[in-house]
Structure 1
Amino acid sequence: MPEIRPIKDLRNTTEISELCHQLEEPIFITKNGYGDMVLMSMETYEKSLAKLELYEKLAQAEKQMHQEDSFLEAEQVFEKLNKKYGK
């Protein structure tokens, strides 16, 4: 369940920092009852970026896989390897 805190809780920076590290997920900050900001630890942010990069690479690989020019059957790959390395 997401952690939602009012903006006045930011006065206690130590508590918010500890909570960010403990939860390892974003904390949503509200202002006058509406969403205003999202806070997270650096570690959580870096993990999120790593996941995003992975998903982008997977999407790119899937796109390449669907291009007929660059798609090879496994048997073709093994034939080329056998020719190249003499097995």
Structure 2
Amino acid sequence: MQIKPSANIRQNYNEIAELCRATGEPIFLTKNGEGDLVVMDIDTFTRREKMLKLREELLAVEEDRLAGRTGYTPDELERYLDGIIAGA
């Protein structure tokens, strides 16, 4: 984890951007010694967003399972989709 003063981004934008890309880690910026912002490259941000979405979906499936709600087996899903396609 990198921590930098917020003035550093104004003075050394290219250095901060390269550090983000090279490490794939967010950089924490401080203002007056307190946490202020987090900066990361777009690839890292996109990857984290996809991971969060997948975790949300997995939690929803697990909640359904624990509540006794059932889903479909792959074979059931295939038959269902085949029926829809045949009816179209």
Q: TM-score range by the shorter chain?
A: 0.7 to 0.9
**After superposition, what is the alpha-carbon deviation per residue over 1:25-82, rounded to whole angstroms, capped at 9, x for unaligned?**
110000110000000000000000011011001101101111224279xxxx6xx87x
Q: Give, in whole Å, the separation in 1 of the partners of 2:22 and 2:70.
A: 45
1:8: how far off?
1.6
Match of 1:60 in 2: 60
Percent identity, aligned pairs only, is 35
Give the root-mean-square deviation of aligned CA atoms.
2.0
Matches within 5 A, 1:36-47: 36-47=36-47
- TM-score, scaled relative to structure 1: 0.76
Match of 1:17 in 2: 17
Match of 1:26 in 2: 26
SS in 2 for 1:35: strand
Q: Give, in whole Å, the separation in 1 of the partners of 2:53 and 2:71.
A: 23
The code of the aligned residue for 2:63 comes to K
Aligned: 1:8 with 2:7: yes
- TM-score, scaled relative to structure 2: 0.75
Return structure 1 stretches of 4+ with deviation > 4 angstroms: none
| Structure 2 unaligned regions, length at least 5 | 80-88
